[in-house]
Amino acid sequence: MLLDRKRHDRKLVSVSPDKIVPSPFQPRREFDYYELLELSESIRRNGLIQPMTVRKLGERYELISGERRLKASVMAGLKTVPCIVVKAGDRECSLMCLIENIQRTDLGFFEEAMGIKKLMDDFLLTQQETAEKLAMAQSTLSNKLRLLKLTPEQRNRITAGNLCERHARAIIRLPEEKRDEMINRCLAERLSVSDTEALVESLLAPPERPNRPKSKGGIGDIRIFTNSITKMIGTMRRAGVEATSRKNETEEFIEYTIKIPKRPKKESAGITLFDLTV
């Protein structure tokens, strides 16, 4: 429990809405007008069944949880609203605000991520400490924080386009310069989550290298023969034969002209010279 019920005094009071100030720890930033209108009609007919939670701040009260109910109560014209007053510090208020909103299914996933980040920044908490306080796996918390790598403009476009958290998590995997393009495609082509993930995978995959043709040995490799000719000329010259060669290369063929004197200047035992015709 975030608040020890035995250690914190709690009492139910009726408070004028104009004496309640919003919490600076509230992660929620957007409220659907039509949902508020529907809730206000219910409150007008049935009253406010679930009290709000507040803490005393001088002559006023700071809202801890129930901002949606408060807004709807004002729309319904209530002069006073039921509130549970608790004694709580900033850390507990922040945790209560965040958890109360996380447990609501209509809290935006970017709002949730920003609330977690603010909690960590305000109270210098590590990811592990924050995950423990929110009863959340650290890997889950880390994935939610990664959503904030998207720019505010990108987050707004994703939210306005009704893309889900998995869309956003797939888009984050791309380099920054490719994220806008992927958001455009998701919106224009109405890509499903699976289609988006598959497309991201294909963009991240390394390009396939073309299969290099294997060089064929034997007569197909001209370099073997040109090297052989060069080596043969070298062998003859070391043996005392003043052999020379001239290479002429065209688009169609390579031509070698080899000159071998009939009378070598030096005799070399153990070396036999072959007749070489090119």
Average the pLDDT over 231-250 and give the result: 78
Predicted pLDDT of residue 272: 43
Q: For the segment 21-32, what is each residue's pLDDT rounded down to a tens digit?
A: 887 766 666 677
Predicted pLDDT of residue 180: 96
In the chain, the domains with their CATH numbers are 7-107 (3.90.1530.30), 233-263+272-278 (no CATH)
Rounded CA-CA distance 250/178 in Å is: 48
Average the pLDDT over 145-168 and give the result: 95
Q: For the segment 77-112, what is each residue's pLDDT rounded down to a tens digit?
A: 989 888 888 887 877 777 777 776 665 545 688 988
Predicted pLDDT of residue 61: 92
Residue 116 predicted with pLDDT over 60: yes
Q: For the segment 198-207, what is each residue's pLDDT rounded down to a tens digit?
A: 999 999 988 7
Catalytic annotation, residues: 67
Rounded CA-CA distance 99/80 in Å is: 26
Task: Quickly tell me which residue has 């987050």 as its tokens.
Answer: 155
- The token pair at 138 is 């650290």
pTM here is 0.52
Task: Indicate the DSSP class of residue 77.
Answer: T
Average the pLDDT over 156-185 and give the result: 95
Strand partners, 56: 61
Residue 151, Cα to own-chain centre: how many angstroms? Answer: 12
Identify the sign of the CA torsion 92, 97, 98, 99. positive
Rounded CA-CA distance 25/93 in Å is: 7
135: which residues sit within 8 A by CB, 6+ positions away?
none
Q: How far is CA 48 from CA 64, 83, 105, 176, in A?
A: 17, 10, 20, 47
Residue 275 predicted with pLDDT over 50: no
Q: Which amino acid is at 63?
A: L
